Copies of this chain bind each other. A is one copy, B any other.
Amino acid sequence: MQSTELERVTLLLRQMIMAGEFVPGARIAEIPLASRLGVSRTPVRLALGILEQEGLLTSAPHKGFWVREITIDEIADAFDVRGALEALACRRAVERGLDVANRIVLEECLALGEALVAKGALTEADTRSWSEMNARFHEAIVAASRNIPLANALAFVGRLPLVSPGAIAFTQGLEAAFQNMQKVQAEHRDIVDALVNGQASRAAALVQEHAYKSREKLRRGLERLRGEQIVANVPGLKLVVG
């Protein structure tokens, strides 16, 4: 699938960073990384540049790259941005007329969510398919807006760890995850209802609140981990809590 080393290295490196393999603020030297990944410095260097553009790394001339320190507040703020953009997407989707293809995707997502909620029990696999469904749901809304810069901007903010709709929900356990899932499913239902009935501002308000709830849920989850300077084992990235 990936025809070049650069793509492979970029993907790998992104996963490594997101998995928290590097201490935030720590320098990432090219040579050890290259030998670790079994390639030369060239693709590594290019990949680092890409990840810098994505906001995961920082660099300075002759000083190299290091992992950006991301605060909880920054993650939370990104959710506000996501809410505002998705609200715009809803308004545009309604104004331009919700097309059939995306409507079908939305309803499929609703059905899948319904099935997961009805099933009651939750395995790890269920959580994964929920996440994928959630990602598809939000993508469909954006696609329905037919606004390319909007989609790009959303992808941009989604590059921050935990912000993308596909990020694994940050909950205490499967039980809490399930309760949250029920709430989210209800919100999804309302959003789709507003969209198919042409209620632009209602849909916009609902997704905005939807994002806000995600934000606060995440914040509560992260706040619990205060105390250590660096939050480890967060699915996504080590975060600076200072």
- List chain A positions with a Cβ less than 8 A from chain B: 3-4, 6-7, 45-46, 49-50, 53-55, 61-62, 74, 77-78, 80-81, 84-85, 87-88, 92, 147-150, 152-153, 156-157, 160, 163
Residues in B neighbouring A149, C-beta threshold 8 A: 74, 77-78, 81, 157, 160, 163
Residues in B neighbouring A74, C-beta threshold 8 A: 148-149
A134 CB to nearest B CB, Å? 20
A77 contacts B156, C-beta separation under 8 Å: no
A148 contacts B84, C-beta separation under 8 Å: no
Residues in B neighbouring A50, C-beta threshold 8 A: 49, 53
List 16 contacting pairs A-B, 8 Å CB cutoff, sorted by A.
A3-B62, A6-B61, A7-B61, A45-B46, A49-B49, A49-B50, A74-B149, A77-B150, A80-B150, A81-B149, A81-B150, A81-B153, A84-B84, A84-B85, A153-B157, A156-B156
Q: How far is the CA of A92 from the CA of B148 in the complex (A)?
A: 26
Residues in B neighbouring A53, C-beta threshold 8 A: 50, 53-54
Identical subunits present: 2
Contact of A81 among B45, B147, B163 (CB under 8 A): B147
Residues in B neighbouring A153, C-beta threshold 8 A: 81, 85, 153, 156-157
Q: How far is the CA of A37 from the CA of B77 in the complex (A)?
A: 41
Whose C-beta in chain B lies nearest to the C-beta of A71? B148
Q: How far is the CA of A49 from the CA of B53 in the complex (A)?
A: 10
A152 CB to nearest B CB, Å? 7
A143 CB to nearest B CB, Å? 13
B81 contacts A85, C-beta separation under 8 Å: yes
Query: Which 4 residue pairs spanning A and B have beta carbons closest together?
Result: A53-B53, A78-B149, A84-B88, A77-B147
Q: How far is the CA of A55 from the CA of B45 in the complex (A)?
A: 20
A80 contacts B147, C-beta separation under 8 Å: yes
A5 CB to nearest B CB, Å? 10
Known contacts A46-B49, A74-B149, A156-B156: A80-B92 contact under CB 8 Å:
yes
Residues in B neighbouring A4, C-beta threshold 8 A: 61-62
Whose C-beta in chain B lies nearest to the C-beta of A55? B152
Q: How far is the CA of A16 from the CA of B45 in the complex (A)?
A: 25
- Starting from the known contacts A49-B49, A50-B53, A85-B153, 7 additional A-B residue pairs (CB-CB under 8 Å) come to A3-B61, A3-B62, A4-B62, A6-B61, A81-B150, A81-B153, A149-B163
